[in-house]
Amino acid sequence: MTDGVVLDKVELRLGTKDFRFNCSLPAGAVTAVTGPSGSGKSTLLNLVAGFETPDRGHVLVGGEDVTHEHPSGRPVSLIFQDNNLFTHLDLFTNIGLGINPSLRLSADDRRAISKALQRVGLDGFEKRMPGTLSGGERQRAAFARALVRKKPVLLMDEPFAALDPGLRLSMAKLLLELHREVGNTVLIVTHDPDEVGRLADHAIFIDHGQILLQAPTTEFLARRDIPALAEFLSG
Ligand SMILES: Nc1ncnc2c1ncn2[C@@H]1O[C@H](COP(=O)(O)OP(=O)(O)OP(=O)(O)O)[C@@H](O)[C@H]1O
């Protein structure tokens, strides 16, 4: 098993909260990041993305030590619940920024943008402004941007939480299709045990800033010996 993301004895203090993360998440797999509210799920993603720097320990992505790498230099893409798009820029530009922040785009880049829009079901949406899109369409656009960036790791923080149940299912299906096509390493924060079962190969459970369990999904969903996890699983 190759490591996609490693947090090697990472320690971080934010305000009065202490986080200690030690884990090795497999490359090319979907790992669900779960835990009670305030347990440290977003903080773990922020450490991988580079929005937080550990006080101690190392963060490795694809075997490369990125602990002190600026977020823009890390081989990761991000999709959040919202705020994925710049509201004053059309979709073509929003997605182009994912390829090159100065928007110097080659003919190939331009074709890649249109192809990515097509792939996520937004064929011909290049000139649309984010404000004119539905929530599901905005998430599709965020997927298109992640696609053109071609980064080996995709970090998703509750990407579907704002969507209604039907849309959640179709976005989960799209995520899995794209994941199988590109073989990336996905970390997805979710509060929903059903989503863990639907999407993830592995899952971790965080409580009070520490990882209490890392296991393959089937084992994870069957465990009842950790009270906080049992509570999470019973919804
Ligand atoms: N910059 C900061 N300064 C002080 N405390 C912080 C900071 N960032 C996060 N925290 C605290 O650390 C804890 C973990 O936050 P985090 O956002 O990682 O939790 P979470 O598991 O993602 O929660 P939720 O499910 O509610 O989104 C919270 O109590 C939060 O208030």
> Tens place of pLDDT for every residue, the chain, 235 residues?
577 999 999 999 999 999 999 999 999 999 999 999 999 999 999 999 999 999 999 999 999 999 999 999 999 999 988 778 999 999 999 999 999 888 899 999 999 999 999 999 999 999 999 999 998 899 999 999 999 999 999 999 999 888 888 888 998 999 999 999 999 999 999 999 999 999 999 999 999 999 999 999 999 999 999 999 999 999 7
CATH superfamily of 3-75+151-233: P-loop containing nucleotide triphosphate hydrolases (3.40.50.300)
CA-nearest residue, atom 28 of ligand 1: 38
Spatial separation of the C-alpha atoms in residues 222 and 109, rounded to whole Å: 45
* Domain(s) of CATH 3.40.50.300: residues in the chain: 3-75+151-233
Q: What is the pTM of this model?
A: 0.94
Which residues have a Cβ under 8 Å from the Cβ of 29 and sit 6 or more positions away?
Answer: 4, 185, 186, 201, 202
- Which atom of ligand 1 is nearest to 15's Cα? 4
- Which atom of ligand 1 is nearest to 191's Cα? 25
CA-nearest residue, atom 13 of ligand 1: 38
- Between the CA of 41 and the centroid of ligand 1 the distance, in Å, is 8
Q: Which two tokens stand for residue 220?
A: 């994870």
- Between the CA of 40 and the centroid of ligand 1 the distance, in Å, is 6
- Which atom of ligand 1 is nearest to 39's Cα? 21
